[in-house]
């Protein structure tokens, strides 16, 4: 794997080139509201199954829906993630898409998009410091 700096030699043009702070406070703001798609891989389904002490097949059938390219988590009628009940019930093994929030391409397009994301997420701007390189790796994961 090439170093991030060689892939983004002009990283100073990104508003987050100096890094950003974020700490998940498990408020669920990103887990509820408008419907969305949280894609899950087979490995993630297996990790959730192990955590919940059920088979991967049972976890896929109970908590996932098929999509054109694999599986996505089901949602309650109100748009809330199937695993959100006052907090994430599978937080230690939550899917990569969840683990990389808020470092998604749509939130990092510019400072205005980051500000809009921070309006709904109390963890943005607090807690752990993420370097430009760490952010780019999470962005790359979120679009793969």
Predicted confidence at residue 82, as pLDDT, reads 97
The helix/strand/coil state of 133 is: helix
Q: How many domains does the chain have?
A: 2
Geometric angle at alpha carbon 100, from 129 and 127, rounded to 5° = 25
85 and 124 together in one domain:
no
138 and 115 together in one domain:
yes
Burial code (b: 16+ CB inside 10 Å, e: under 16) for 43-57 equals ebbbbbbeebeeeee
Please determine, for residue 143, whether its predicted confidence score (pLDDT) is greater than 80: no
21 and 36 together in one domain:
no
* Domain of residue 124, residue span: 1-30+101-144
Average pLDDT over residues 19-24: 96
Separation between Cα atoms, residue 20 and residue 35, nearest integer Å? 27
Separation between Cα atoms, residue 25 and residue 127, nearest integer Å? 9
Reported as a single tens digit per residue, the pLDDT across 42-63 is 999 999 999 999 999 999 999 9
The pTM score is 0.84
Predicted confidence at residue 15, as pLDDT, reads 93
Average pLDDT over residues 75-89: 94
Please determine, for residue 7, whether its predicted confidence score (pLDDT) is greater than 50: no
36 and 78 together in one domain:
yes
């Amino acid at each position: 794997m090439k170093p991030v700096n060689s892939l983004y030699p002009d990283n100073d043009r990104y508003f987050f080139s100096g890094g950003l702070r974020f700490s998940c406070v498990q408020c669920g703001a990103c887990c509820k509201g408008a419907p969305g798609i949280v894609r899950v891989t087979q490995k993630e389904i297996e990790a959730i199954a192990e955590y919940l002490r059920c088979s991967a097949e049972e976890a896929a059938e109970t908590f996932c829906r098929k999509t054109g390219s694999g599986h996505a988590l089901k949602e309650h009628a109100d748009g809330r993630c199937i695993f959100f009940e006052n907090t994430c019930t599978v937080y230690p093994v939550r899917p990569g898409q969840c683990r990389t929030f808020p470092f998604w391409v749509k939130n990092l397009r510019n400072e205005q998009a980051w500000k809009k994301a921070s309006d709904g997420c109390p963890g943005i701007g607090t807690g752990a410091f993420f370097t430009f390189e760490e952010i780019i790796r999470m962005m790359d994961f979120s679009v793969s």
